Amino acid sequence: MHRSSGKSKNSKTANAPKKIISYEKKPDPAITEYSVQSLNWLRKAEFLMSAPKLNLCVEDTGYEIAFAGRSNAGKSSAINALTNQKQLARASKKPGRTQMINFFSLGNPDQRLVDLPGYGYAAVPEAMKIVWQKELENYLIHRQSLQGLVLLMDIRHPLQHFDVMMLEWAYSRKLFVHVLLTKSDKLNRGPANKALLEVKQQLKKMKLNFSIQLFSSLNKQGLEELASVMAGRLNFTLSESSQFDLDSIPEASEDDQDEI
């Protein structure tokens, strides 16, 4: 009588080294290329001018995206990290340092980044705050070249009164808004993701379909995502740069610090 060896006929297959399967989603090369080139493009930013009032601003043509947020949201630091230029936007330890509407060209005068005066807390007289608020309102309502806002909110204190006001202004003008929850390095990953989810839920309750992401100027988190959003809204295409090289993009400076 034939005795079975006790081994399955598929024992060789069973004992073979198992292939490790990765379920991690691979990034789309086209998207990666676009985000990297978008960063390269934004790092060509140059200062154009500052204006205290709407009627003194750059000619209202082309496309521009404005960075807005409370005076301590890290606005200037975000612009400096995005453009890899430490002194492009003046970051200060004192909230409220940005007192004018600052314009930056992006390799083309008709494609601009705008740094708006910080709202909310600022170490200035009340009368000056009122003037700033009025000019900010004029810009948001009447500026035809304004395509949308990058709204910065400290991840630890999101959706303050003025933040909600800015969202409502943008919605009334049918502008897009991309929300940055800044200083995400101040929280561990779990709490940071929880804060992100909570803000998403609040925006949904407000019936505001705006995009949102985590961001850290200090750790350079979220630069590629932000660059891609801005490039898409400012009518930037891959064909606009004939000398694209993934390795040509400089590293963002590690010395840039978030505003407190």
The gap between the terminal CA atoms of the chain, to the nearest Å, is: 85
The parent domain of residue 195 ranges over 41-239
CATH code (residue 211): 3.40.50.300
**This model's pTM is above 0.85:** no
Residue 163 corresponds to which tokens in the numbers above?
């933040």
In a domain, 161, yes or no: yes
pLDDT in tens, 123-168: 666 776 777 778 888 898 899 999 999 999 999 999 999 899 899 9
Percent composition of the chain: helix, strand, coil (DSSP 3-state, to 5): 35, 20, 45
Other Cβ atoms within 10 Å of 231 Cβ, number: 23
User: What dihedral angle (degrees, nearest 10) is formed by the CA atoms of 164, 257, 234, 66?
Assistant: 40
**Is there a domain that residue 245 lies in?**
no
Instruction: Give domain status of residue 218, yes or no.
Output: yes
Residue 1 lies in a domain: no
Q: Which two tokens stand for residue 9?
A: 């006929």
Q: What does DSSP say about strands 176-182 and 211-214: parallel, antiparallel, or unpaired? A: parallel
Give the β-pairing of 176-182 and 146-154: parallel
The total of structural domains in the chain comes to 1
pLDDT at 242 (0 to 100): 37
Strands 101-105 and 46-51: antiparallel
For 214-252, write each residue's pLDDT tens digit.
999 999 999 999 999 988 887 665 444 434 343 443 444
Residue at 32 is within a domain: no
Examine residue 198 and state whether it is found in any structural domain, yes or no.
Answer: yes
Residue 12 lies in a domain: no
Q: What is the pLDDT of residues 5-47, one digit of tens each?
A: 555 555 544 554 454 544 444 555 555 788 888 888 898 899 9
Strand partners, 227: none
